[in-house]
Amino acid sequence: MRKIVIAGNWKMNKSVAESVKLAADVVAAAKGIKNVVVAIAPTYLALAKVADVVKGSNVKLAAQDVHWENQGAFTGKVSADMLKDIGVDMVIIGHSEQRSYFGETDETVNKKIKKVLSLDMGPIVCIGETLEERKAGKLESVLTTQVNGAYAGLSADDALRTVVAYEPVWAIGTGVTASDAEAQEAHALVRGLLAKLFGDDVAQSISIQYGGSMKPENAAGLLAQKDIDGGLIGGAALKADSFLGIVTPGE
């Protein structure tokens, strides 16, 4: 049975005090939720304080990015050891905003995944095509390049410790969601790519989240798809009720 993983990516939103408040609201709202992994990803600045809030709860702490080196002259960056030290469980890697604004490549994604796994944290590996790529019929080739690049040199055991987030770039923050069928088609494709790399059993065990304007109103249809195992949520994660409204209460 694959795990359903619902992760909130708060992006560059919320002060430290607001983050602590939202984290407390999520912890309270997530209390009855079983069989779903719930994670929140505040800004770096708020991580340490939010770590105290989620401690002992069923809410996991995620970071929005990481650097692959241990330490040194990398102005503005934060290492995996630093994240581990304050209690981070999961790290979002290769988000499309990192790829399009900050020069993230499949190679840096791969380095970050390896580093995060080496410290026993769980990478959330983001992939997805732009609208131009989809319109040009390049969905399969883009996802193939991204999956092969991200997972290069990983063992099957490593791959089992990752979560994939399929996020069509045209659906992120736009209010436009992929239809249930479009999302399922892409998820099946990604699972097929993982099967080619690691075998069908491993591919069947890796959770693949959908990301792109997911909210309580459209979540049920997406989550009912056979290859959709949760969501990476941006806008709707900024309020505890809309974030956890995506998970069926008591599930």
Q: Which of 95, 104, 129, 187 is catalytic?
A: 95
The number of helices, as runs of H, and strands, as runs of E, in the chain is 12, 8
Query: SS3 of 52, please?
Result: helix
The reply, when asked if residue 68 is annotated as ligand binding, is no
Minimum CB separation from ligand PEP for residue 215, in Å?
Answer: 8
Q: Is 235 annotated as a binding residue?
A: yes
Q: Pick the piece of the chain touching ligand PEP (CB under 6 A) from 42-50, 77-85, 192-200, 206-214.
A: 206-214
Read off the tokens for 110: 């791969």
- Is residue 235 part of the contact set for ligand PEP (CB under 6 A)? yes
Does 143 engage in binding with ligand PEP (CB under 6 A)?
Answer: no
234 is in an annotated binding site: yes
172 near ligand PEP, rule: CB under 6 A: yes
Instruction: Locate all alpha helices (DSSP H) within 105-209, ordered by sequence.
Output: 106-118, 131-135, 139-150, 156-160, 180-198, 200-205
Cα angle 115, 173, 248 (rounded to 5 degrees) comes to 80
Tokens of 28: 């309270």
Whether 133 sits among the annotated catalytic residues: the reply is no
Instruction: Count Cα atoms within 13 angstroms, Cβ side, for 206.
Output: 33
Token pair 């702490």 is found at: 61
Say whether residue 100 binds ligand PEP (CB under 6 A): no
Q: Is the sign of the CA dihedral 10, 205, 210, 96 positive or negative? A: positive
Q: Of the two residues 198 and 237, which places its CB atom closer to ligand PEP in the complex? A: 237
Read off the tokens for 244: 């956890």
Q: Looking only at residues 42 through 81 of this chain, which bind ligand PEP when binding is defined by CB under 6 A?
A: none
Q: Check residue 9 for interaction with ligand PEP (CB under 6 A).
A: yes
Q: Is 173 in the site for ligand PEP (CB under 6 A)?
A: yes
Measured from the CB atom, the residue of 11 and 198 that comes closer to ligand PEP is 11
Question: Do 129 and 138 contact (CB within 8 A), yes or no?
Answer: yes
Q: DSSP 3-state assignment of 198? A: helix
Q: Assess whether 95 carries a catalytic annotation.
A: yes
Asked if 213 is part of the footprint of ligand PEP (rule: CB under 6 A), the reply reads yes
Quickly list DSSP for 36-78.
EEEEEE--HHHHHHHHHHHTTSSEEEEES--BSSSSSS-TT--
Residues in contact with ligand PEP, counted by CB under 6 A, come to a total of 13
Q: Can you tell me which of 89, 104, 129, 167 binds ligand PEP, judged by CB under 6 A?
A: 167
- In the annotated binding site for substrate, the residues are 9-11, 173, 213, 234-235
- Residues near ligand PEP (CB under 6 A): 9, 167, 172-173, 211-214, 232-236
- In the annotated binding site, the residues are 9-11, 173, 213, 234-235
Q: Which residues are catalytic?
A: 95, 167
